[in-house]
């Protein structure tokens, strides 16, 4: 399950470091930059799953303000008493933490670091971590770049532990929780902004949702009623997404023989109706409420 969880951190590191632009240069317009998905390999199959951090990047690039109330309160962690709830909410809090990083809410991010640490302990992976890293986090609480790379180390350690101890299911639940939170944030932003770019990104979740279901499907009917419920609700959501029209437009690729690079110029756009958007928003909010309650 190598790099399953590290998927989140790759996106945080790459984008956040790119956002640190010198004052004498013009910051590039990234509002139309394609959202590049992460790739994970599970059971010898490669899945494309976009990082939830991408939702935060998009809304900030569109100059949409930060909404703290959209995030899961760090105080809620005490309610998560099962491995299922603890695992999926590591994903939720990971997405929230990315949102805080992107919006430079560094003081608030400390609470989310603490919660992730506690949940990691509860699911049994805290011993895999270098405990000095938490002292370093506290000492660098006002340094965005340091926090990003320290969080990278934490998730790499957790990822390695899950790989070595054959606990792939926990990693998959973390991915699912992060993706659900990312889609939830997009629908909440859509409701307050009615921005067509946000709605397009919601439509783009059609394929990743099917990938999430494929990742979870082997665990269906394995004796965990919460996991079964999660899969059933995601399948229900995917039925609504079937109404989202995806339109593929072919553009000839560009080849750079010197660097041995081929640039794919073909694009797929997504048309989502107001009715489908409303249904998706309702269903993801209901599912996310159940996850964090």
Q: CA-CA distance, 11 to 80, in Å (whole number)?
A: 27
Contacts of 81 (CB under 8 A, 6+ apart): none
CA 252 distance to own-chain centroid: 31
Tell me the two tokens of residue 252.
Answer: 């000839």
183 belongs to a structural domain: yes
147 belongs to a structural domain: yes
The total number of structural domains in the chain stands at 1
Tokens 């339109």 label which residue?
A: 247
175 belongs to a structural domain: yes
- Cα–Cα separations (whole angstroms), residue 204 to 48, 97, 187, 281: 12, 23, 12, 14
255 belongs to a structural domain: no
What's the rounded mean pLDDT across residues 16-35? 36
pLDDT at 33: 34
DSSP 254: E
Q: Given a cut of 90, is residue 44 above it in pLDDT?
A: no
Q: Given a cut of 90, is residue 283 above it in pLDDT?
A: yes
3-state secondary structure of 255: strand
Among candidates 292, 44, 9, which has minimal Cα distance to 158? 9
pLDDT at 137: 62
254 belongs to a structural domain: no
Structural contact between residues 61 and 98, judged by C-beta atoms closer than 8 angstroms: no
pLDDT at 109: 82
The torsion angles phi and psi of 81, rounded to 5 degrees, stand at -110, -5
Give 121's pLDDT tier (boundaries 50, 70, 90). confident
59 belongs to a structural domain: yes
Continuous segment of H or E residues that includes residue 91: helix 83-102
Q: Given a cut of 90, is residue 272 above it in pLDDT?
A: yes
Note the pLDDT tens digit of each residue in 212-235: 999 899 999 999 999 999 999 999
268 belongs to a structural domain: no
Tokens 């990083």 label which residue?
A: 101
Q: Supply the mean pLDDT for the chain.
A: 77
What's the rounded mean pLDDT across residues 141-158? 61
89 belongs to a structural domain: yes
Domain range enclosing 161: 6-246+275-292
Angle, helices 106-122/144-164, rounded to nearest 10 degrees: 10
Instruction: Report the DSSP pairing between strands 261-263 and 45-49.
Output: unpaired
Percent over 90 (pLDDT), the chain: 35
Q: CA-CA distance, 79 to 278, in Å (whole number)?
A: 29
Give 128's pLDDT tier (boundaries 50, 70, 90). low
Note the pLDDT tens digit of each residue in 170-225: 878 888 998 999 999 999 999 998 889 899 989 989 988 998 999 899 999 999 99
Q: CA-CA distance, 78 to 80, in Å (whole number)?
A: 6
Structural contact between residues 101 and 71, judged by C-beta atoms closer than 8 angstroms: no
Q: Which of 76-90, 248-262, 269-283 has the lowest mean pLDDT?
A: 248-262
3-state secondary structure of 293: coil
Q: Which of 39-48, 142-151, 208-217, 228-237 has the lowest mean pLDDT?
A: 39-48
């Amino acid at each position: 399950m190598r790099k399953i969880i590290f998927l989140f951190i790759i996106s945080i590191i790459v984008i956040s470091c790119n956002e640190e632009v010198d004052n004498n240069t013009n910051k590039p317009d990234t509002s139309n930059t394609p959202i590049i998905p992460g790739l994970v390999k599970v059971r010898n199959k490669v899945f494309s799953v976009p990082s939830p951090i991408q939702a935060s990047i998009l809304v900030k690039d569109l100059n949409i303000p930060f909404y703290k109330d959209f995030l899961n309160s760090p105080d809620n962690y005490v309610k998560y008493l099962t491995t299922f709830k603890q695992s999926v909410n590591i994903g939720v809090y990971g997405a929230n933490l990315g949102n805080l990083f992107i919006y430079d809410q560094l003081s608030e991010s400390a609470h989310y670091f603490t919660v992730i640490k506690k949940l990691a302990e509860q699911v049994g992976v805290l011993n895999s971590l270098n405990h000095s890293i938490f002292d370093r986090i506290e000492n660098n609480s006002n340094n965005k770049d340091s926090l990003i790379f320290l969080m990278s180390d934490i998730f790499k350690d957790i990822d390695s532990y899950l790989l070595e101890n054959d606990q792939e299911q926990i990693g998959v639940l973390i991915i699912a929780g992060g993706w659900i939170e990312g889609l939830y944030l997009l629908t909440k932003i859509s409701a307050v902004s009615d921005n067509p770019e946000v709605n397009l990104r919601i439509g783009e979740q059609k394929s990743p949702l099917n990938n999430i279901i494929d990742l979870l499907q082997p665990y269906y009917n394995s004796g965990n009623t919460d996991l079964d419920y999660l899969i059933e609700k995601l399948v229900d959501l995917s039925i609504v997404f079937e109404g989202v029209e995806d339109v593929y437009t072919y553009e000839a690729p560009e080849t750079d023989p010197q660097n041995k690079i081929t640039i794919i110029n073909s694009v797929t756009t997504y048309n989502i109706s107001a009715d489908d958007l409303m249904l998706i928003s309702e269903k993801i909010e209901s599912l996310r409420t159940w996850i964090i309650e």
